[in-house]
Chain A
Amino acid sequence: MPVFLKEEDISLVLCGEAGQGIQTVEAILAQAVKQSGYNIFSTKEYMSRVRGGQNSTEIRVSSHRVASYVDRIDILLALSSGAIDHLRDRISRDTLIIGDPEHIKSAKEEKTAGFSLDSNFIEVPLMETAQEMGGPIFANVIAAGALSCLLNIPKEIFDGLISDMFTRKGQEILQKDLKAGEAGYNMGKGLMESEKAPIHLSLHGKSSVRDELLINGTDAMGFGCLAGGCRFMSSYPMTPSTPLQTFLASNAHDFELVYEQAEDEIAAINMALGASYAGARSIVATSGSGFALMEEGVGLSGMIETPVVICIGQRPGPAVGLPTRTSQEDLNLALYSGPGEFSRVIFAPGKLEDAFTLTQRAFNIAEKYQIPVFILFDQYFADCYYNIPFLPLEEVENENYLVKTTPEYKRYLITHDGVTPRGIPGYGDGLVVVDSDEHDEEGHITEDLKIRTRMVDKRLQKMEQIREDAVAPELVGEDDYHSLIIGWGSTYWPIREALENISRKHPEEKLGFLHFKQVYPFHKSVAEYLEKAEDVIILENNAQGQMANLIKLETGFEIQEKFLKYDGMPFSVEEVQERVMKFMGMGDDGIMEDDSAQDEGEVLK
């Protein structure tokens, strides 16, 4: 039975138990794919356990740029007996399931007995070969080799990567891994040549892709921190913010910054505020439950007008929720956190470039206005990798907002715009007094109610200028749209790819996509964009439409159509496409064929 696969854009899914080395396969394949000149996107979903369970990684290998999650599985590499069951909903009759006989046995039997699973199975003796190579630990490298061969990845590239990865483990281990990779390649060759199941893939590589950056959301934010002059991070581990903490800790030596694992989130934000008071650009990273503990510190930042950048990696709640899944449920938490009233800014990156630029900007905006600035991201965003040409480091400019104090210095001098030049202790001859109680211009406690009112006004007045500085939403698609899709944060690429697929099929439809990367306060263009549309739909990874509610609050515009997903998984391109088609009254003629872009330059810029 011949198997025909999409030629230009392949969705490859690896699924197995935690601890089986799927990450190694992912790491090798991702690099190999890029070095061969193909575009790559990868995303993982995993259970909250260190061993066992079923975890999967989707790797899209494509001739054109790809940056979003699809439900479709073209090739499934099943590395455990539970893998097929775990992904059952995403397996179609076009899915090619490759696996060890023992791992695909029950699913295959089901099929022979005439049951539901109508797919193509290919058995490969992964475990047996691994045993021959020296033990089950080699199964992941063999698998990586077999898949690399199927993807036409030159053997030299593969061997180079294996060497990079295993050289430090010693010659003996390296040689064994190289041999395991070779065995994998032979396995792959066998599959391509076998009469029974010929596999044809014909991707078009591009040498320019080879030189691109391959990073994930965490890396992009981490680079943004370094670019923004971050000098101090205190935090407490919590998924999915831990990788960002690891990123900064591992770069602390080279970039002269302090990372401290605080005893809890309360200490973390207070420590960061102390460091910031002493002049260091400071950041904390956490997730919803951890942030709940930081809320009092957010109020302190607001009251003492001391900058801090707060990264919240969203995951489903309430409380500890689904620790390893994704969501956009903490917009309200960030928006309303902290007692009292004061100014704040919230960013939510959608693309890697946004993450870099907005994180760097977060430090400048925090310093400029002496406020807490939030970056809302999520598990999906933090963990997905794809290749991009560059990050705009040359454009980075860090303004210095610190002043040398004089003996007359007043930390809270009332100014025309609410912003007092910021002094820090030990720089100049003045004294810098900050207080969490209401205070006078010098920073000393006061219960003078007139001063109180003026100080509240001062802290809120900054909002005017902050609004002027707001980052505009990004409009994708037709300028004269009739229908408008709204999204924010990490839903950018799934929505954008879906929109492009629809537009390609129905060029007559005037469809636009408005993506918010600054979710509070809004840029002044927002209301106009909304008013211009005949119909508006919003997509959010939460159950209440928190962004839709905020839009209503800020602009008065009520969005009727909402597509809300809160099962812990990101939107897939297919489901966005289907829902948007329905929204546009195009009936439910099902999921459209995902035909690949002819010219990448035209589609994705």
Chain B
Amino acid sequence: MKPRDFDMPGADVAWCAGCGNLSILRSLKTALAELEIQPENLVFVSGIGQAGKLPHYIKGNVFNGLHGRSLSPATGIKAANPELTVIDVSGDGCMYGEGGNHFMHTIRRNPDITNLVHNNMVYGLTKGQASPTSQRDFNTPLQVDGVFLEPFNPLAVAIALNASFVARVFSGDRKQTIEIFKSAIEHKGYALVDIFQPCVTFNKVNTRNWFREHTYYLEDDHDPLDRNEAFRRATETGEYPLGIFYKNSKKSTFEENLSIYQEEKTPLFQRKFHRGKLQALMESKR
């Protein structure tokens, strides 16, 4: 397949020119094409925000739901039909702010979905307020004294919760982004990819150059199975490592743990109504 196979004819892309979202979209199309995933079998789930609009610009089924809630429908979709490939696309505010509780509990559930979080350290769609990942002293019309809260560290939290796949990429580096997207999508279980992404309009601090200058790749000999090391690397600040921090392939997924899929994989909508069993259950109350 070609990335072009994922083009949405007539899509009215509403992002600013130069926005990091554009390269993420391109990388994602390439990754999906290389993995030969059919759009009909693919479901993009998103919340609200600039990042949340991405599913409208790519070919696939779409559930564009509520702000912060995308992981819940994603979990429900995968549980109702495990044959679908489910990719959740969110922003940092959507995922770590409004959706923080779901972020935590979805990691615990470990559904087989990919969670791409566009982390631009600012709220784009609502025009420039602080996000949970905004760095200290970031000034906004709402944070008039500058941000004085500790930035949320999604990677460290995910590793602490023993998430099954944890990675960080920078949208400007498409080659690495594509590879890591592919690993994340192929990974069985919940896969978090936190994507450093410049918002050219509202974040004048964490610019494309800033990300370039403040990131580097984890060494080739970094062992993603070593959770303690992964956690240590995730807490590094100042200079931020990129790459696959942690992987736990031994975890069973949410769907695998559901008893109904132990014997057959038929999606829920195709299962038959058990009139006889219901009759018997009712009879037991006589």
Contacts and interface: CB of A to CB of B under 8 A. Distances in A.
B260 A434 contact: no
B269 A262 contact: no
Contacts of B61: 425-426, 431-433
Interface residues of B, number: 54
Given A213-B285, A267-B101, A271-B72, A424 B269 contact: yes
Given A214-B285, A398-B273, A431-B39, A278 B69 contact: no
B213 interface: no
Contact of A430 (B40, B104, B268, B271): B40
A278 B258 CA distance: 17
Interface stretch (B19-27, B170-178, B230-238, B276-284): B276-284
Contact of A254 (B66, B80, B274): B274
A212 B14 CA distance: 64
B81 interface: yes
A393 interface: yes
Given A232-B268, A258-B80, A226 B101 contact: no
B56 interface: yes
B73 A215 contact: no
Nearest to A432: B61
B201 interface: no
A425 B83 CA distance: 10
B62 A253 contact: no
Nearest to A268: B72
Most buried by B among A282, A424, A429: A424
Contacts of B41: 425-426
Contacts of B69: 266-267, 270, 297
A300 B66 contact: yes
A231 B102 contact: no
A434 B273 CA distance: 27
Given A214-B285, A258-B268, A436-B66, A274 B75 contact: yes
Most buried by A among B65, B72, B76, B267: B76
Interface in A371-395: 391, 393
Nearest to B79: A258
Contact of B72 (A254, A262, A280, A431): A262
A425 B260 CA distance: 20
Interface residues of A, number: 66
Contact of B73 (A226, A271, A398): A271
B40 A215 contact: no
A267 B102 contact: yes
Interface in A53-81: none
A447 to B, nearest CB: 9
Nearest to A270: B72
Given A275-B268, A300-B65, A443-B62, A232 B76 contact: yes
Contacts of A443: 62
Contacts of A398: 273
B45 interface: yes
Contact of B83 (A273, A277, A426, A437): A426
Contacts of B76: 232, 234, 270-278, 280, 282
A161 interface: no
A444 interface: yes
A526 interface: no
A263 B40 contact: no
B40 A429 contact: yes
A257 interface: yes
Contacts of A393: 275, 278-279, 282
A402 B269 contact: yes
Given A271-B75, A425-B43, 15 more contacts: A223-B278, A254-B281, A260-B75, A262-B72, A270-B69, A274-B65, A278-B81, A280-B76, A280-B269, A297-B66, A425-B84, A426-B40, A433-B55, A435-B56, A437-B48
Interface of A: 211-215, 219, 223, 226-227, 229, 231-232, 234, 251-258, 260, 262-264, 266-268, 270-280, 282, 296-297, 300, 304, 391, 393, 396, 398, 402, 424-437, 443-445
12 contacts: A211-B286, A219-B285, A253-B259, A267-B101, A268-B72, A275-B80, A278-B268, A279-B269, A428-B40, A433-B56, A433-B61, A437-B48
Top 9 closest pairs, chain A to chain B, by CB: A274-B76, A274-B73, A279-B269, A270-B72, A425-B61, A275-B76, A278-B80, A280-B268, A263-B105
Interface of B: 11-12, 14, 39-41, 43, 45, 48, 53, 55-56, 59-66, 69, 72-77, 79-81, 83-84, 101-102, 104-105, 258-260, 267-271, 273-275, 277-279, 281-282, 285-286
